Amino acid sequence: MTGPGATGPDVTEPDVTGPDVLDLWEHSVREHAGGPALVTPHRVLTYRDADRLTDAWAAFLAEHGAGPGELVGLAFGDPARTVLGMLAALKAGAGFTVLDDRLPPAARTALLARTGAVVWLGDGAHAPEEACVPHGPAEDADVTAPARPVRRADGSDVAYVLFTSGSTGRPKGTVVERDALRRFAAAVASRLELTARDRWLQVASLGFDVLIEEVFPAFAAGAAVVCREDTRALDAEELHIALTRTRTTVVELSTQYWLEYARWLDGSGTATPETLRTVVVGGERMDPVPYRRWQARQPAALAHVYGLTECTVSSTFYTGLLPSDAEEVPLGSALQDVEISIRQDGRPVPDGGTGEIHIGGPLLARGFLDDEEATARRFVPDPYAGTPGGRVYLTGDLGRIDADGQLVFLGRVDDQVKIRGHRLEPARVERALCEGGGVGQAVVFPDPETGTVLWAFTVPADPAAAPLPGEAVRLTGADRDALVVPLEAQLPDWAVPRVLYRVSVLPKNPHGKVDKRRLATWAAAASAASGAPASAAAPVPEAAGTEQEPLGTVLALFREVLDAPALGPDDNFFDHGGQSLLALRLLARLRESRPDAAGLRASALFTAPTPRLFADALAGLAVARP
């Protein structure tokens, strides 16, 4: 491989004496050399093993131009190698970026160009052609690892660049510096009281900033990061099995994922594994009812977190018992080195007042990659900062500080929404729907019941194609594909509407905004109207004890979970609004009614996405069972 700086940095250059994120790693190597650092399905790497291996990788990276101010790209399909690559890049003095394997090809190509990584490591199907896997001494304990370059990086040098959801257009690359990462790792390790006995299971998507929280606080405490074999989503039962088998003590789940796990535990009468002590939950608003139910029934404690990529992952933690009269689950109190304030029009509000949440302190990111305008708009000078040159990040979230000093979330200042843990400005999707032709207007919002699926209501450009006023017609087949397929080529999966309706007009409320409640009412009426003839349109024998009985049960559950009464036995789950979280719900409901479904996994939906095929998979499981 050749490229800029291929001769490597001068390894004799003096070390920088300031504190660095690697100091935390090196302390753990000294104190816990023989303890587990990285646990994989095939191997356990001790801190000594991982240190030697990443030294060798860092030397390789330095030879290929990695150093302060440069980025190393990571595109592994293996989470463990991703973690090793992150550490090796930091050892080379460089920062890292992780390429999300879920991105569509066009978005992936654009991000490859934007990062300008000096070298790419990876072996995943999504990796660029030039990516490689460096060799190291891990397989032979007698081989001496090459000495890594003397660290030349400063605390203000880049540690990593991760891309946000791109809510207002193309995704923004958030540049986080080494000192911010160091402070963050130490603060989370302290707040969660992590020790060398802890094991943190890595479950987040590799392009998501939660990955940072799963790795660096654990390393700061001398704890182990537990990696799965691949990035495949686990259903609730698979998660429980993984937590139990790996003796995990800490895991972080998105709000919706946690809800699915909580439902599965309740439905199966199961408690969290004995070793699991803390479940970190965040990403979306938390309903107090399931939160209290968990705290009353489950031995594992909850930690409710709030934060943004631009502020180094998480800024606040709530770990208390929720009072019986609390109407919201608090976001908690600030981490060390994080400054939280509530302001209106840039001025702090009185205690208990409502305003926009502002985040300040040394954990703020440097800004957005190659986007000075966006950086200046969201990272602004703070006239109330205690130190000269202080900045504050405008979150766009509404909140207040309650009487106990806890931050409480109250909604969004603007029209952004959270969908499956990602921030999205619906206008981005609405514009894309209208660009393809045939659509004159569109509005997009999460489904009112679960908030996990995007709904789209479109007004056809040709009035002759519009339904009657006050009606919503659900799009299926070729009509639906004509709108969805172009979106899938340019948007991540979670940003693509899966349930689409055609209406004659977008109704407005008295404030002049689109009346989403009325649209939801029209959609409910459409579902109710289609429910009556559904059995006639797609008859399915459901007599118990017959070969057709599994299909009847499966079809009924598909219809229930997707809220699609007219769904037929050969209709595709993913074409009618299905996604990973709804797949988890489908499996949970199926196991409640059919004990023989215990061995079936949500991943089976990808190969058997229709009720008929899924029923066949269930029947095949029964035949294979002795």
SS3 377: helix
Strands (E), 432-580: 439-446, 454-460, 473-474, 499-502
Handedness of CA 612, 616, 618, 619 (dihedral sign): positive
Choose between 376 and 324: higher pLDDT. 376
For the residues 508-514, what does the mean pLDDT come to?
A: 68
Alpha-carbon distance of 17 to 38, in angstroms, equals 28
Q: Residue 140 pLDDT > 80, yes or no?
A: no
| Alpha helices (runs of H) in 401-515, residue ranges in sequence order | 426-435, 477-488
Q: Residue 545 pLDDT > 60, yes or no?
A: no
Q: Nearest Cα to 453, choosing from 599, 256, 314? A: 256
160's CB contacts (< 8 A; 6+ apart) are: 86, 95, 96, 97, 98, 176, 181, 212
For the residues 331-348, what does the mean pLDDT come to?
A: 95
Q: Residue 566 pLDDT > 70, yes or no?
A: yes
Res 167: pLDDT:
47
Tokens representing residue 511 in the block:
């404030």
- What digits encode the pLDDT tens for the residues 197-225? 999 999 998 989 999 999 999 999 999 99
pTM, to two decimals: 0.77
Q: Interior CA angle at 315 toward 310 and 317, to 5°?
A: 150
For the residues 509-520, what does the mean pLDDT come to?
A: 77
- What digits encode the pLDDT tens for the residues 424-452? 778 778 888 988 778 888 899 988 877 77
SS3 74: strand
H helix or E strand, kind and range, residue 98: strand 95-98
Res 18: pLDDT:
81
For the residues 101-124, what does the mean pLDDT come to?
A: 88
pLDDT, averaged across the chain: 85
- What digits encode the pLDDT tens for the residues 4-31? 333 333 434 444 568 999 999 999 999 9
Res 567: pLDDT:
82
- What digits encode the pLDDT tens for the residues 361-416? 999 999 999 999 999 999 999 999 888 889 999 999 989 999 999 999 987 787 66
513's CB contacts (< 8 A; 6+ apart) are: none
Alpha-carbon distance of 394 to 317, in angstroms, equals 19
Q: How far is CA 454 from CA 429, 444, 485, 557, in A?
A: 10, 7, 15, 20
CB 192 within 8 A of CB 278: yes
CB 3 within 8 A of CB 61: no
600's CB contacts (< 8 A; 6+ apart) are: 587, 590, 617, 618, 621
Q: Residue 328 pLDDT > 60, yes or no?
A: yes
Q: Residue 546 pLDDT > 70, yes or no?
A: no
Provide DSSP, 191-220: HTT--TT-EEE--S-TTSTHHHHHHHHHHH
Q: Residue 534 pLDDT > 50, yes or no?
A: no
Res 87: pLDDT:
97
Tokens representing residue 241 in the block:
């099995």
Biggest CA pair distance of the chain = 79
385's CB contacts (< 8 A; 6+ apart) are: 339, 360, 391, 392
Res 356: pLDDT:
95
pLDDT bin (cut points 50, 70, 90) of residue 457 is very high
- What digits encode the pLDDT tens for the residues 490-499? 888 888 998 9
